Structure 1
Amino acid sequence: MTGSVRYDSVFRPGLFAGRAIIVTGGGSGIGRCTAHELKSLGARVALVGRTMEKLERVREELGDPDTFIHSADLRREDEVKAAIEGVMSWSGRIDGLVNNAGGQFPAQLKDISLNGWNAVVANNMTATFLVSKAVYLASMEAHGGVIVNVGADFELGNPGMAHNGAARAGQTNFTYSASIEWAHSGVRVNSVIPGFIASSGFDRYPERAHEALRSVKDRIPAKRHGTESEIAGAIVYLLSDAAAYVSGATLRVDGGLHNYGKSTFYHVPDHENSRPFNGFPLYRPPKVLE
């Protein structure tokens, strides 16, 4: 049980029994959903994010006072080290890390300030490096473990959010390098690349982006937005023993959008044949899609 609700996971109960797993950005959206699924599967969950109030709310939802929460700015190395030291004091080891925290905003290159550029790169690339390194040195170098980085598609560029595309390219390249350098320690490192997911993050975009967020489903072969549960499920798979031979991989969860973006001669007809999976009873669609 998670609080007063049961997460409807497709994975077997007790899958992560006794394992300590960190979820950054665990106070909302995909991170919150992932925390609920991991808890439902027996994990001891550590939530790290910027806003303590959000983390406290999720801990209350989980219904487990053992859940570790820590507020930190993951762009700052001293705060990252303090967070990981806190997790180690709580658990003694770290079996899994989900680097989910991040943030970006729509803007054309000519309008992005240096501060804006640096903020997005720090949020979406540097933080992944800092947290992963701290976790590796504190626990995984000696005991092994699994790291899953939650990124975004960048291979065709990211016009309108080029700072995010650059940061996500670096984040994914970090995944490739870390999967090799840390393999001898028994550490697997992979990335999940979400498409357009109907998460609370949509509501943080300015109003000028709302129509694009609503209409983008027409460009997706699945003809719908994704769910938080569909990303959480991909993360859980990569954390699990079923993925024991998977490292340095990027798993796209985007309803086929990436490959369709390369197509110039085929149009996917409108349909309603892609059935979403939503195992999270507390999920609510973002207001922008209502």
Structure 2
Amino acid sequence: MGGLVLHGVTAGYRNRKVIEGFDLPPVPPGTLLGLIGPNAAGKSTLLRAVAGLGKIQAGSITLDGTELPALTPARRAALVGYLPQTLPTPSPLVAYEAVLSACRAVRGDLSPAQAESAIAHAFERLGISALALRRMSELSGGQRQMVGLAQVMVRDPRLLLLDEPTSALDLRWQLSVVEAVRNAVRASGAIGIIAIHDINLAIRACDQVAVLSRGRLLAAGSPGDVVTPGVLAESFGVEARVEACSQGVPVVLVDRALV
């Protein structure tokens, strides 16, 4: 079966379980899934478990019918691209060199001309071509975040795992990043999972949304079906309304915190 399926996944840190018995309904190819939930809900732990950063304690993770934990690290890295919350290092490398290094590390099958074309396409898709020859040490945090995303996208993975890639970006670039990732997964038939705090951005840009709370899945599906006042109250502890903006897109309005 195509797509990503998680069944009974248990993972955490040392002896502490953060997510336990976690099931995620099948995520089909060409889908961008938004992970939302309060702090410490388990979003980052879930992404790290899928990326293979540490062993899962139980359960299965399959991508297009292949068990990811059973793969060698090199094969898994070729299929799965992971962008952590931490920003790329402000090194003396120019942005192009930083992305080329990431590309060579995983895509050794590409010729120099193919690698150059892939890098140019990634920079263009993200709208950061002007940064290509600037040193990483000269870039702002948000710009380094964009280069980090290019390092993941240039590899053309089947699964993109992005942990709060918009956290260091202003409003314009937040929208640009999420739309670029959405367009990329739709064009390639890959799957994107993005942990994001901005619920309204997730509603607008993601095909599906999964709501986490205390290491468990509260709801998953289309944003219009999943993001409801009841789910928001249970997951975030807030009283909220979901109304339509002038363009007909659902918008979450928070009235107060629940005691």
Instruction: Tell me which interval the TM-score lies in, with the shorter structure as reference length.
Output: 0.3 to 0.5
Greater percentage in helix: 1
TM-score by length of 2: 0.37
Greater percentage in strand: 2
TM-score by length of 1: 0.34
Q: More relative contact order in 1 or in 2 (CA 8 Å, sep 6+)? A: 2
